């Protein structure tokens, strides 16, 4: 697993160009993946949402726009990324009365037990230094009956893997260097995607933590997947 300090420093270096890089490197598909995530969360109409590894805040802003009754708390352990989110908030990207951003490490979240209706995290679980610990923290802060929504890179369909990994290994790092000036950060991205479990095996990890009603949906030849997992209601 990656060291948290190294990940924090890496994201700090690319914070100002993070959004641009996501749009360029995904060919704009990241916007559709975000819409798919928000649509799933909105079906449940949660009022207390924690958006973990919030980065520059795009998920938090989209949740707030789609779910008018929601209070959204974005947390990230990288201050430069949070600065970008707060800048967007100040520029009118969201309602300051319903969105806030705070420093928070997913391995030790500064939130009470059983306090959140829904947790969202996009492209963050792959970066946990201790994945089981981070998933346990998500489970802890959810109220009984609450739901976690995890958007993450995964292993694509078998027929698509040769094309996908050719792009990741030989094309993406060079494009990333042009977009962000930091090729090494995206060398890490390639390695982290390659070692992350496929949808079924990640679902098993969620079950081991104690989540129930686990489902997963692959998007764009399963380049990414949305896992939905519920904390069991109190009996």
**Is 199 a residue whose pLDDT tops 70?**
yes
**Is 23 a residue whose pLDDT tops 70?**
yes
Which sequence spans correspond to the domains of the chain? 4-157+197-231
pLDDT of 17 reads: 73
pLDDT of 190 reads: 82
| Nearest CA among 121, 130, 23 for reference residue 74 | 121
pLDDT of 176 reads: 75
The better pLDDT of the pair 172, 207 is held by 207
pLDDT in tens, 61-95: 999 999 999 999 999 999 999 999 999 999 999 99
4-157+197-231, what's its fold? Rossmann fold (3.40.50)
pLDDT of 21 reads: 76
Please say whether the beta carbons of 90 and 22 come within 8 A. no
Confidence of residue 1 (pLDDT cuts 50, 70, 90): low
State both tokens at 113.
């037990």
Helix (H) / strand (E) containing 25: helix 18-25
Q: What is the mean pLDDT of residues 193-213?
A: 96
Please say whether the beta carbons of 89 and 58 come within 8 A. no
């Amino acid at each position: 697993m990656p060291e948290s300090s190294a990940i924090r420093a890496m994201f700090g270096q690319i914070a100002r160009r993070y959004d641009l890089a996501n749009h360029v490197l995904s060919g704009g598909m990241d916007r559709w993946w975000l819409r798919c995530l928000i649509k799933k969360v909105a079906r449940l109409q949660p009022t207390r949402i924690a958006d973990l590894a919030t980065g520059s805040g795009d998920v938090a802003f989209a949740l707030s726009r789609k779910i008018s009754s929601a209070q959204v708390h974005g947390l990230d352990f990288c201050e430069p990324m949070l600065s970008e989110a707060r800048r967007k908030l100040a520029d009118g990207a969201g309602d300051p009365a319903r969105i806030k951003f705070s420093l928070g490490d997913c391995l030790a979240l500064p939130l009470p037990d059983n306090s959140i209706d829904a947790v969202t995290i996009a492209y963050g679980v792959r970066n946990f230094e201790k994945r089981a610990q981070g998933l346990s923290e998500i489970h802890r802060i959810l109220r009984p009956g609450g739901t976690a929504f995890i958007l993450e890179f995964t292993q694509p369909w078998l027929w698509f893997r040769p094309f996908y990994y050719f792009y990741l290994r030989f094309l993406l790092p060079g494009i990333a260097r042009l977009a962000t000036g930091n090729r090494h950060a995206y060398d890490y991205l390639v390695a982290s995607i390659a070692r992350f479990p496929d949808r079924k095996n990640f679902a098993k990890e969620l079950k081991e933590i104690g989540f129930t009603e686990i489902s997963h949906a692959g998007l764009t030849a399963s380049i990414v997947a949305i896992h939905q997992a519920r904390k069991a209601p109190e009996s």
